[in-house]
Structure 1
Amino acid sequence: MPFPGCFRLFACPRLALTLFTAVSLSVGSLAAAELTVPGGRLEVVDNEVLIHRHGRVIVHLTDVKFDYHSPLAWAVAQTTPDRIEIKLTYPASVDYAHRGPTTPGLDATLTISTHGDGFRLHATPEWADQTTLEFAHTGDHFFGLSSPLQPDNQHSPDLTGSTVRVEVTNHGEDIVENYASAFSSFYMSSAGYGAFFDTFGVGRYQFALNGRNQIHHETGTLDWYVLLGDDGPTIHRAYFDLIGAPKHVPLWALGPIGWRDQNDGGAAEILDDIKRFADLRLPLTGWFVDRPYSDGAHAWSHMNFSAAFAEPEKWIREIREQHGLEFMTWTATAFFGDTPLNRHLPGGFTYADLSDPETVAQFQQKLTDLQHSIGVKGHKMDRADEKFPEWEAWADETVPRGAKRNTYTYLFIKTHDEALRRTWGDDQFTFARAAIHRSQPYLSAIWGGDPRSSWAGLQGNAANAIRASFMGFPVWGTDVGGYIGEGLIDEELYLRWMQFGVMSGLLEIKLDGSGGDGRDRMPWRYDEAFQAEYRDLLELRMDLLPYLYSLANDAAESGTMMQPLAYRHLDDPRTHAIWDQFYLGAGLMVAPMVTPGSVRDVYLPAGRWYRYNFDRGIESSLVGGHAVVTQVERNEIPLFVRANSLLITGNVYAGNARTWDADSPPRLKIHAFPGEVGESTSFTYIDSADGDAAKVIHLEHDETGISLTAPALDAAVSLKIFRRNGVSVTNIPAGEPIHYRIDD
């Protein structure tokens, strides 16, 4: 059925065409059929499809190929106000795989329909195996599809002039950030639309090559959406309406999380690390153990806790009850030669066949019995992207070879979420380096693969984060300090990586080298001055939790957490190549230091901006529309707040801080930055203390003054309103609605 405000392209088997009366195409440039939605119009004219927005053509579809063949003829078969059906006739040779060259000409029905504020094109010819769409390039730029830095390790997220493959494969050492493996057949255009080809079939996208674009997928079903919108949040709102809202993220999972790649000392080493963080008053909210910690092949295949981690129910309970942390584990559906489940796929990794219901049930039951039942609340999910066998038979024989990698990644993510949900409901967390579209309702976060412990590794991961956001993965994180290399790294690189991590969606801090190589990078390996800077960063992260929690759990409405500049300013060409700046929410811009030194350029979009420090407040006022040269101290994160913005911070979750600061009551801070007269803004605060109630904080500047209103919050509030002539501060008790006004 049609979806309001969007368009759909649909094709049916040729027998269905007898239901329709053919309508001849109009001559010349006169539209044969037309659909409209708010802000957009689609017309079929001269055997082409054109989508218009704001008076310009943004999509110019010139060919719909099945099995690499163009149609011999188009004919409009039926039109309604929200639907167009087109009969496409293909040559007999198109069906080389099924019927042979003597088959008469083959037909398909292309159905175009409205879908929200966009369109859907859909076709299902029973004889086709490949679908290709060809377009004239209309001058726009393109973002999304791949978190690996396709093509050529370029940092820029702008894919114009590129060819990109959409298939979950790890790129190992040929992509600089190493093993980042999130892909999606969703891309965003600077012309003001998002496009989603709804298939797990392998894709190949070519943009602006010889003046043309091409989309190709290994599927005979065409199911392509064009979702119109002025910016990334609007476009992704329509996208999440289609694929499902992103998964809920628990508050504890957004705080600092520590881990080692190798725990040779077993559970005792984990407890000792956690205790030393508390002794130094370094805040944490979670910890996880990486492989190896189990018995069996690759120290994993039994999925249990080995002798070095004996009696896990006791020490996991101690981690939670005595130290205030939640605990997670590394998992995989690769069994590295062992075959303990009902069905495994051949090959050295002997992956579990997740298309087999009995195998899925066995895997989930083992997770429940051996891990979730004793307190494990989440998983770092690994290895879905390596050495995957494509040709072997699955229990579900309907999945074609060209869709197996992407389908498997989706099943991998969904299988883990289902198992955790049975024990913990929403109070659980999953993160993976391999991901695919439609997994967002089941995956809490992605992490940027295994970066090298170098400035190049940090830079590659920063670029990876930007791409993940364009694809619609709301929460992203980095292995702080890098993965590939020895543990101990120099202080400047470590602090800059920490600063980047603190302002990312997921903060997980890697505390040793690859496989435990070299001296670890525990903060106590460095001097007291470094430890103080480290502590300040962790405390800032804890203070940001109310803001981050709200962003993560309002992503279906407000968009991804780390928003690229082009995501919010599609029509500003100066933003298209920027990979080392991002918005954290709508008003806070982060410009992390990803190169050595104390100076960097920061591009500020048009408007009024403030250089901001959460401790010191506003440091300077700036006018946007150009780049500014920024001096940055070693212990400073370059932060800029846009006028007409709201931020909310506070101590809403204790984590391990309850071991040294058990009596501090929760308190919130609202930082308000009014805009010009006539401007207003709102922030949706997700109140974790009030059953995740969504509470809208509203800021308005009218001709007589500035007002801020909000429902009652479950913590006392310190309200700061930053004006051009000073700062207004007031305190509001917990449970009292906020109605505050300043005459201006």
Structure 2
Amino acid sequence: MIKWSTFFFLLTALSISNTSKAQSCQKTDLGIKAVINSTAIEVQYYSPSTVRVLKSPDGRPFTKESLSVIKKPQKTAFNVKQQGDLVNVRTTALNVALNLKTGDIIYSTVKGELLLKEKQHGVKFSPFNDAGNTTLTVQQLFELDKDEPIYGLGQQQEGRMSQRNVTLNMVQGNLDDYVPFFQSVKGYGVFWDNYSPTVFTDNAEGASFKSEVGDGVDYYFMYGGNADGVIARMRELTGQAPMFPLWTFGFWQSKERYKSQDELVDVVRQYRKLGVPLDGIIQDWQYWGSNYLWNAMDFLNPEFPNPQKMVSDVHSMNAHMIISIWNSFGPHTKQYKELDKIGALMDFTTWPQSGSEKWPLRRDYPSGVRVYDPYNPAARDIYWKYLRDMYVLGLDGWWMDSSEPDHLDVKPSDFDNKTYLGSFRKVRNAFPLMTVGGVSTHQRAVDSGKRVFILTRSAFAGQQRYGANTWSGDVTSSWSALRNQISAGLNFSLTGIPYWNADIGGFFLSRFKRKLDDPEYRELYVRWMEFGAFTPMMRSHGADAPREIYQFGQKGSKYYDAIEKYINLRYHLLPYIYSTSWDVTANQSSMMRGLVMDFQKDKNALDINDEYMFGKSLLVSPVTNAMYVKPGVSEKETIQVEDFSTIRAKETYLPAGIDWYDFWTAERFSGGTKVSRQTPLDIIPLYVKAGAVIPVGPSVQYAAEKKWDNLEIRIYPGANGKFVLYEDENDNYNYEKGVYSTITFTWNDAKKTLSIGDRTGSFPGMLNERKFNIVIVGMNKGVGENVTRQADKVITYTGKKMVVKL
């Protein structure tokens, strides 16, 4: 461990020499800069805990306007002290030491605890010809502790939590959303601010980022103390996450694809007839007609004769509708022609490759579809100009497919395409940030009464500021794919982007020849539905077979009832979920939380890849293997058949330092142990932290159907706890002006009292009086199975502080 115990006065300039070569280092208004071994190095402070490091060959000017970082460097108080070859720059939160002999930087806490070191002589520049421009390939190596877990780097579906001992070729793809950011269990994070194809490597040599194109090294080091703190620093740099509407947290149904407006409207009608809650329906591609009209943003398909009526019909049933839009255009579209005139179409192969829709595709009839240049502000204006004609229909959001974008039959020369900001190679990975940002920014400019909601297939650092929820791509339906979704979503969230989801049931059903008739698939779908109930968006979607609940039987059948159970559970938890989303916006929190976020000191919890916290109170342990099928024979063919003769179980680790309750039975367990829980088809292992205060909402058909005037408040004794109930108008941006209310519940375990604080704030339609039905879990067994039960105490709350003795 490196320690620096004393620091001298602030120095206005330093001139230091050493035995090998005279070096210079000087203080600037924002930090320090130096030239060491022909490398220009600058450290800029963005806050006492966040610094930007810039390195480039001496004599080669290096300036860059970041696409991800929107915060500007801040004048920060710091002290400077030289100790031998080290120049130590100290703020109230962080010590940065520059080695004047090697040019390497060491980061430590103000208490002298080592956080991260650059590898000695770890910066590397190599000449690179980028589409005729002389530039550099840039690399920086870091030295991690041997057993130091790190997390993040975006979404990779490899089933890993800790991202040690990996090599990642970071180029955006359908299933991989790369963010060149990692954070450590030691409470720091590193954001590599480069948009070109990048390789992250962690091996015996060190951990490094290496990018094909860069005029210099540009990265940010931030210290937060823990994962939440690191994420807060990252969002301070790249933007805060706005609120989504309440309805986005309900249940969503879609498929590839509804082929007429009548079919789409009938799905909503069927859910309402069955009494199964639903808040959203999604129209996938081809409502525009042929591939030559790809993404025309117009209902040219004759099966959609009256789109205004379609949207109105959905709204009349108290549901919402979003629609598929792409980042490419067919040659017969108005957008194509207008974008082509300003040179804002790129030339590489994308989807669809054929003008024919029949399978197999006829490549001798090329579609001519081309990807647009979202880096060009004029192109983003054109994109929105046509999309706005869709917006006026009353559509509630956008499904931005292929936002990485699809890049097929890749050739090296594809990256030479010119964009508004240089070669496609130079800015490749920021494509989703720019295209999602273009739509979000334009919508907010014309309408503050409806919150932006974008479902998108890819993401990059900073995208959280644009009201986007990223899904994990066109995953194949399999048990391993389901398991890999967990760590994929958690590592994605650990980059600071809090909203993520997956196609419930998996997109492609190719593994299951009998499709929905395969009992193993039905079991997989139910388990994926259980997992989906505890993700930021609960959305059923896929190809090859429809996924609506009535495709899995009828009420009274195993699969139907299990699906319905978790849709209803999702709605009962909406007060908890919506309040958690406020915590994301107001306090830089995360909804899906890797165990490192809440149990940093529990070494046994740091690399678990199949369980997580949903909010700060619920531990979710999805079932990720088949339990209720066995081989059978049908017409001399071996197939899978149902076998519910034995109830199986799953083992779950409960993190140390706190007691836990089984959500379903209220059985209490000590932390730091593994527990086995029986998992019949309709049970997911779900545990609640002692001290948790969880609001439970009413039974509804859609999220805003009933006011929260009679909430159940569950108390899980065994520790002190607090929960803040958040409420607002459920949509619009008035909350940014303070138009919302919060009520703080505080549980004192020793005194067995629940303090309900004064309501703060107000909004139109706010409840001035309501009932809270308080339930002490443990005194009523089986509280998880039932929605309503006799409360231990019922109180009337009028907004004034109350202390309830229990």
Distance 1:348 1:197, change over 3 A: closer
Paired residues for 1:108-123 under 5 Å? none
Equivalent residue letter for 1:344: L
The whole-number CA distance in structure 1 between the counterparts of 2:198 and 2:741 is: 38
Shift of 1:668: 2.5
Equivalent residue letter for 2:143: A
Shift of 1:549: 1.8
Equivalent residue letter for 1:683: V
2:796 aligned with 1:742: no
2:340 aligned with 1:333: no
Equivalent residue letter for 1:457: A
Which residue of structure 1 lines up, in the alignment, with residue 165 of structure 2? 161
2:667 aligned with 1:620: yes
2:658 aligned with 1:608: yes
Distance 1:558 1:146, change over 3 A: closer
Provide, for residues 29-54 of structure 1, a one-character-per-residue CA deviation record: whole Å limited to 9, x for no partner.
Answer: x643332433x433234533222236
**More displaced, 299-308 or 279-288?**
299-308
Shift of 1:682: 4.1
TM-score by length of structure 2 reads: 0.75
The whole-number CA distance in structure 2 between the counterparts of 1:505 and 1:180 is: 18
Shift of 1:196: 1.2
The whole-number CA distance in structure 2 between the counterparts of 1:560 and 1:297 is: 39
Of 131, 134, 145, which aligns to 2:138?
131
Distance 1:519 1:719, change over 3 A: closer
Which residue of structure 1 lines up, in the alignment, with residue 609 of structure 2? 579
Which residue of structure 1 lines up, in the alignment, with residue 209 of structure 2? 215
Question: SS of 1:554's equivalent?
Answer: helix
* Structure 1 contact 606–624 (Cα < 8 Å) conserved: yes
Provide, for residues 68-123 of structure 1, a one-character-per-residue CA deviation record: whole Å limited to 9, x for no partner.
Answer: 35xxxxxxxxxxxxxxxxxxxxxxxx66879xxxxxxxxxxxxxxxxxxxxxxxxx
Which residue of structure 2 lines up, in the alignment, with residue 701 of structure 1? 748
Which residue of structure 2 lines up, in the alignment, with residue 175 of structure 1? none
Shift of 1:376: 1.0
**More displaced, 588-597 or 716-725?**
716-725
CA RMSD after TM alignment:
3.1
Structure 2: gaps of 5 or more residues: 1-29, 31-44, 62-79, 351-369, 628-647, 760-765, 782-790
Shift of 1:24: 11
Distance 1:738 1:183, change over 3 A: farther
Equivalent residue letter for 1:311: N
Equivalent residue letter for 1:673: Y
2:117 aligned with 1:60: yes
Which residue of structure 1 lines up, in the alignment, with residue 501 of structure 2? 477
* Structure 2 contact 325–400 (Cα < 8 Å) conserved: yes
**More displaced, 698-707 or 599-608?**
698-707
The whole-number CA distance in structure 2 between the counterparts of 1:300 and 1:95 is: 40
Question: SS of 2:600's equivalent?
Answer: coil
Which residue of structure 1 lines up, in the alignment, with residue 377 of structure 2? 357
Question: SS of 2:561's equivalent?
Answer: helix
* Structure 1 contact 334–384 (Cα < 8 Å) conserved: no
* Structure 2 contact 247–703 (Cα < 8 Å) conserved: no
Distance 1:235 1:722, change over 3 A: farther
Question: SS of 2:136's equivalent?
Answer: coil
Distance 1:279 1:303, change over 3 A: same
The whole-number CA distance in structure 2 between the counterparts of 1:525 and 1:352 is: 40
Of 459, 473, 496, which aligns to 2:527?
496
Which residue of structure 1 lines up, in the alignment, with residue 715 of structure 2? 672
The number of equivalent residue pairs is 652
The whole-number CA distance in structure 2 between the counterparts of 1:198 and 1:37 is: 25
Paired residues for 1:181-260 under 5 Å? 181-207=176-202, 209-217=203-211, 218-260=213-255
Of 746, 762, 772, which aligns to 1:718?
772
Which residue of structure 2 lines up, in the alignment, with residue 561 of structure 1? 591
Of 649, 662, 681, which aligns to 1:599?
649
The whole-number CA distance in structure 2 between the counterparts of 1:259 and 1:314 is: 19
Which residue of structure 2 lines up, in the alignment, with residue 544 of structure 1? 573
The whole-number CA distance in structure 2 between the counterparts of 1:430 and 1:654 is: 23
Of 539, 544, 550, which aligns to 1:523?
550
Distance 1:274 1:657, change over 3 A: farther
The whole-number CA distance in structure 2 between the counterparts of 1:65 and 1:255 is: 49
* Structure 1 contact 675–701 (Cα < 8 Å) conserved: no
Which residue of structure 2 lines up, in the alignment, with residue 101 of structure 1? none
Of 678, 686, 697, which aligns to 1:650?
697
Question: SS of 1:697's equivalent?
Answer: strand
Question: SS of 2:688's equivalent?
Answer: strand
2:584 aligned with 1:590: no
Of all paired residues, the percent bearing the same amino acid is: 19
Provide, for residues 643-672 of structure 1, a one-character-per-residue CA deviation record: whole Å limited to 9, x for no partner.
Answer: 1222223149752896xxxx8875333223
The whole-number CA distance in structure 2 between the counterparts of 1:298 and 1:696 is: 54
Question: SS of 2:525's equivalent?
Answer: helix
Shift of 1:531: 2.7
Equivalent residue letter for 1:539: N
The whole-number CA distance in structure 1 between the counterparts of 2:326 and 2:193 is: 26
* Structure 2 contact 327–371 (Cα < 8 Å) conserved: yes
The whole-number CA distance in structure 2 between the counterparts of 1:574 and 1:536 is: 32
Question: SS of 2:97's equivalent?
Answer: strand
Structure 1: gaps of 5 or more residues: 18-22, 70-93, 99-125, 171-178
Shift of 1:594: 1.4
Of 629, 634, 640, which aligns to 2:681?
634
The whole-number CA distance in structure 1 between the counterparts of 2:191 and 2:576 is: 30
The whole-number CA distance in structure 1 between the counterparts of 2:254 and 2:81 is: 66
Of 724, 730, 733, which aligns to 1:683?
724
Distance 1:738 1:399, change over 3 A: farther
Which residue of structure 2 lines up, in the alignment, with residue 280 of structure 1? 274
The whole-number CA distance in structure 2 between the counterparts of 1:475 and 1:711 is: 31
* Structure 1 contact 293–299 (Cα < 8 Å) conserved: no
The whole-number CA distance in structure 1 between the counterparts of 2:707 and 2:165 is: 55
Equivalent residue letter for 1:318: D
Paired residues for 1:81-160 under 5 Å? 129-139=136-146, 140-149=148-157, 153=158, 155-160=159-164
Which residue of structure 1 lines up, in the alignment, with residue 478 of structure 2? 454
Question: SS of 1:472's equivalent?
Answer: coil
The whole-number CA distance in structure 2 between the counterparts of 1:180 and 1:147 is: 8
Of 533, 557, 579, which aligns to 2:562?
533
Which residue of structure 1 lines up, in the alignment, with residue 431 of structure 2? 408
Provide, for residues 446-496 of structure 1, a one-character-per-residue CA deviation record: whole Å limited to 9, x for no partner.
Answer: 111112222223222223212212222211111111110165253322211
Question: SS of 2:666's equivalent?
Answer: strand
The whole-number CA distance in structure 2 between the counterparts of 1:188 and 1:401 is: 28
* Structure 1 contact 601–630 (Cα < 8 Å) conserved: yes
Shift of 1:733: 3.7
* Structure 2 contact 661–689 (Cα < 8 Å) conserved: no
The whole-number CA distance in structure 2 between the counterparts of 1:333 and 1:421 is: 20
The whole-number CA distance in structure 2 between the counterparts of 1:527 and 1:313 is: 32
